Amino acid sequence: MLAFEELYRIYHSGMTRFVANLVRRPTLIEEVVNDTMMVVWEKAGSFNGASKLSTWMFAIAYRKAMRALRRHDEAMEDAQSEKRPSLNPSPEEEMIQARAGKLLANAMQSLSADHRTVVNLTYFHEMDYREIAAVMGCPIDTVKTRMFHARRHLRRLLGGELADWI
C-alpha cells in the first residue's frame, strides 16, 4: 500500500496535466486520473517491464481519456492554462509569458486529440516516439505523421519557430 501511495504521489500531477490536455473538461479530469490509478493498482501484476512504468501508465490514461471523451460528446470547456514558476520575472516578462502561454494553449486546443497527445507527450513529458506509439497503441510512423501535421498546424497559427513556443 505504501508503494502505491508513493507511485500516486510521483505520477499524479503529471498524469493530471496530461489528461487535462486531452479531455479539457474539469469534471472528467480527476475521474480519468482516478480510473487510471485504479487500473494501475488492480493490474500491477500484469506490468511486464517491456516498457517504462510511466509509458504503461500513460497508455492506460490515454485509453481512459479517449473513452471518457466518447462518453461525453457535448462541447468542451476551455482548459485553464498553467503558469510555470519563473525566477523573479519582471512584470513585463510575466505579461509576455502569460500572453505566449495563452496563445500556445489556444493553438493546442485547435489540434485534434491525437495531435495534442503527440505534442504533449513529446514536449511536456519528454517521451520518444517509440514510447508515444506504445501509449497511443499505434505504429511509430503514425506518431511521426501526427507530429508533422501538428507542428505544421501550430507553425501556421503561431508563426515563428515552434521552439520559440514550447
What was the pLDDT predicted at 74?
A: 44
Residues of the chain with pLDDT under 50: 74-86, 162-163
What was the pLDDT predicted at 78?
A: 39
Which cell numbers hold the place of 4?
502505491
What was the pLDDT predicted at 30?
A: 87
What was the pLDDT predicted at 82?
A: 44
Query: Which pTM was predicted?
Result: 0.55
